[in-house]
Structure 1
């Protein structure tokens, strides 16, 4: 009935879709298994992509040849570049999306790939022979053979939904939990844990009074995620809105705390620290009289509204009374209540940097099964797992991104070496080289790597090379272009920056904090005409590289210093336990995580500098 697939992907959320697309685009024959074909790429939480650090991840996925950026562009209803008032390392793109169109575009994209097959059924177990994954078993007992398996089960593994004192099995509202896989993996020697996440109520937008809220517009000149020209920037956008809770809302919610599963002990799993429920906010930040609520439309045409900031698992009657005390929500009609969901995860220290498991060969984990939270984090892991599953089947070298290569590299490295006891979320502060890992240069950093493994298209590579060469030419020309006092001093005075007394290069002038490319165009007509020949992204790239060149050079020097340790390989079967000079904790951690390089070993919690020195000596021998 079934051929032997190169890769079977279990789960069709953000991680599963990227894994299936990547492996299939690289030439592998892929089977994507899902319990419901109608919920492929479902935006289970808020209808948005990107944000601080997350936007950088979406750009990186796109630069490598993934589809999250393209799909986001095709389905967005609003675009905003966050943190524009800060330096370029902090700029983060974010889209508000049409939930239904996002899922539809993903499904259509996958269906157009001849290497992707689909199977709708719960997967209840793995086929394992001699320590190697060789396929999956479905709930009705069908065995499907494969050379590798990628698990992207999201919140479905033994998922339990909580609404007040009610609790029932489910991986998402209205959908069944997945059973069998956790139990089998534990029998195979895996360590498992429980985590939780939550979602807010959805309401009828027709019942809200927007005059009592602050309107949040999209950018005046909206951009896109993807470096490709497959979509055009938005000509119209839908606004979001901001309102606030108040003392009355908090007091109303507190009446249900005795029935809250979070406070009465029914929920055991840890929730995301940086996206707490509304009852958690009230409890942890009792001194605050109000909390921000983002009112987000679910699409172009639907009236359904996502109440961002009001995630809760309180009883539905408590939710309903409290939400109607929020300004603008006095007559709100609820479509469905918020809920919390508990699910199984597997500590990611059990994985290699390729996201292949240590215990079972050719078995990969990606997404919330690894203890992360967020569409973007899941999608990037799916991409890495799909790429590496395909490469291993093709007997090619693995694909590993370093911390200095991408936020995706930081994410994977953090998970493998540090693990996580709460849902992991990416922030710019987690990256030590964030000036190098900007959202504007993801293509310059990663597209060649994506093209080398057969994922990024020729079109992507050509666009990247054009951008790179045009940026270099522009920077060189700005260094050569000399500007005279009598031609530019009037313009400099209008900008509010000091006049010059002798000729100065355009490049040196651009280093002034008051002057960007836009201002440079106003001080010299000839220069303005020349600059207008270049695209917006080339102008932006040149400006950033010129203004921050000394800082970029310093970070690059730090990367080169650390690269020596990253290049120092540790043999695959190195016996850490036999080195008695190592500390007990160091031996245990090294043996459990099994780092592949000295650099990776240095980042493992519990491995001391002394342990590292001893390990270096033994490796030298």
Structure 2
């Protein structure tokens, strides 16, 4: 039934598992993807959307590295929006509303067309570990499948428990059973485990809604796309989302069910996501607010099912129904299914290396919600990195990691490994120190060459990136070198209420003004001629505009990143004995002994380690 021994076995086929399997297989590793239900590959368990604040940047990084999430998001999208366009480009974040069924279907089709990848549907109930080294997995049917490396991407399935009011039952998500056995085995080996919770809102019948009472939320007039490749195209048509609100009356009805709420009656003890709270949590924590937004999102092109984003709840189903009917447009609502909360096991990620390999078991990797994260994009990026590193380990090649100044993925993994998390971790732009460098528009410049070097990004991707880089660099040089006369530029400046110039000057200086856009520059004959002659597309035009306008900020962040990287280059031996550093605080010695940071830079970010502790470490290492 199986190969004698796989290079990589991936357990779970959610967003993390799918990216892990694709990466390992595309790098030439014989790979087996094991999941409890092959019909639900890359299932969107929560809202049918990809991207958003910081998450859109992660998705573009996944695409730049050769992952599939961006491609699938493009081919299954029903609406595109670039969020935060009113702010600087470091904050611009692409987001798509997705067709839930198409998304899963297109993921499966891509995986089935991937060489070196086998599939098997069954529950993995245990691991084969010998002398702290992974040897394979055991299934619920008693099969043993051998492997050189194993990646666990179990999502919310490990001992999953679903709550609706005072009812609870085992499950990994609605309609699917939980997974048992792995947590106990890992704890017996010495792993620390914990519990987290997340939730989801009701799904409703769009035929029962009155959209005339809601605010329409259309997509962008000129939609873009996620993937840098030319395999996909921007949307030609889009579906609108809608917005409604709760009210004091709705809140009062919800409060009627608080005594039956698992969040308030003690049934749920675990921690939920701070930045995606349930509706009952919102009205409890923000008692001064008399209404909250609800985004009413279609689940696809050809379905009447809608997702009520902002109304996540585990209250009794009768309370959910009664309260939702008081919201504008929901007076005659019909449920497809009620909202619910789910508790599941996770493993504090300080037990991992930066490659996402566990410190306790050689060849065993964790990725996704098992590490305490929340969100499809966070999970997918971890799966990609785990898949890459498992494939490299099998080939006995150098590990692949990303620093905080190279990618949001680097920030995400570094935060998890060095700081851990006691609540579901979600990425925000504010978590990145160098977000002007880590923009959504330049992820290919940052990462595609790195991926190509390890054998993941294709030669076609590499050439596409190099062509874009050459065109962008040439256009920036054009602005630096091209002069413009007062007669040419002053009418444009006057039109934009920008101060006129009194002598001929370089275009770069004019273009750097905050209120002057690429569209304004293209009114100049010399600029428009350059654009047409070199066949510059929108991606290049956007890239150049950002580089010109934010040149000072970008240069400053590069200098700061270089300073950080000097500490990043000072490696700490894996078995370094911190107890020898008597001048270091006891807390720092204890934390560093547990985390085992690989570099001085990473050590400086561990909670409880202060600058004087870092100085002691540097002195000891001769720095």
Q: Could you state the TM-score of these two structures normalised by the residue count of structure 2?
A: 0.98
Partner residue of 2:587?
A: 585
1:531, 1:341 → 2: CA distance?
53
Q: Does 1:52 align with 2:53?
A: yes
Is residue 2:462 matched to residue 1:458?
no
Q: Residues 182-226 of structure 1, C-alpha deviation per residue, up to 9 Å, x if partnerless?
A: 000000000000000000000000110000000001000100000
Map 1:96-495 → 2, pairs under 5 A: 96-495=97-496
2:77 matched to which residue of 1?
76
1:612 counterpart residue number:
614
Alignment deviations for residues 323-354 of structure 1 (CA, whole Å, 9 cap, x no partner)? 10000000000000000000000000000000
The alpha carbon displacement at 1:565 in A equals 0.6
SS in 2 for 1:472: helix
TM-superposed CA distance for 1:403, in Å, is 0.2
> For 2:254 and 2:278, how far apart are their aligned partners in 1?
12
Cα distance in 2, alignment partners of residues 388 and 529 from structure 1: 46
Q: Say if 2:45 is the partner of 1:41.
A: no
1:547 is the counterpart of 2:561: no
C-alpha distance in structure 1 between counterparts of 2:13 and 2:527, whole Å: 51
**Distance between the aligned counterparts of 2:487 and 2:583, measured in 1?**
72
Partner of 2:525: 525
Q: What is the rounded CA distance, in whole Å, between the counterparts of 2:204 and 2:527 in structure 1? A: 53
Consecutive unaligned residues of structure 2, counting only runs of 5 or more, are: none
CA contact (8 A) 2:195 2:270 kept: yes
Q: Distance in 2 between matches of 1:102 and 1:450?
A: 25
Residues 361-383 of structure 1 show CA distances to partners (whole Å, capped at 9, x for unaligned) of 10000000000000000000000
Could you tell me which of 564, 567, 570 is aligned with 1:568?
A: 570
Q: What residue number does 1:61 align with?
A: 62
Q: Distance in 1 between matches of 2:526 and 2:561?
A: 40
The alpha carbon displacement at 1:248 in A equals 0.9
Residue segments in structure 1 that go unaligned for 5+ positions in a row: none
Contact between 2:26 and 2:115, CA under 8 Å: does it hold in 1? no
**Could you give the per-residue CA deviations for residues 29-66 of structure 1, whole angstroms, max 9, x where no partner exists?**
10001000111100000000000000000000000000
Retained in 1: the 8 A contact 2:436–2:554? yes
8 Å CA contact 2:11–2:152 kept in 1: the answer is yes
Q: Distance in 2 between matches of 1:578 and 1:392?
A: 32
Aligned Cα RMSD in Å?
1.0
The alignment partner of 2:106 has SS state of helix
In the aligned structure 2, how far is the partner of 1:514 from the partner of 1:371?
A: 43
Instruction: Determine the C-alpha separation between the residues in 2 that align with 1:579 and 1:144.
Output: 45
Query: 1:380-420, CA deviations, whole angstroms, 9 ceiling, x for partnerless residues?
Result: 00001000000000000000100000000000000000000
Residues in 1 aligned to 2:531 and 2:521: alpha-carbon distance in whole angstroms: 9
Provide Cα deviations, 1:231-262, integer angstroms capped at 9, x if missing partner: 11111000000010001110111110000000
Return the offset for 1:607.
1.5
Residue 494 of structure 1 and its aligned partner are, at CA, apart by 1.7
Q: Output aligned runs, 1:493-504, within 5 Å.
A: 493-504=494-505
State how far apart, in whole Å, the 1-side matches of 2:239 and 2:81 are.
Answer: 12
Q: After alignment, is 481-490 or 571-580 more displaced?
A: 571-580
Aligned match of 2:539 in 537, 540, 547?
537
- Gap change, CA 1:492 and 1:582, over 3 Å in 2: closer
1:17 aligns with 2:11: no
The whole-number CA distance in structure 2 between the counterparts of 1:514 and 1:261 is 52
Superposed displacement of residue 316, structure 1: 0.4
Separation in 2 of the partners of 1:611 and 1:494? 57
TM-score by length of 1: 0.99
2:516 equivalent to 1:515: yes
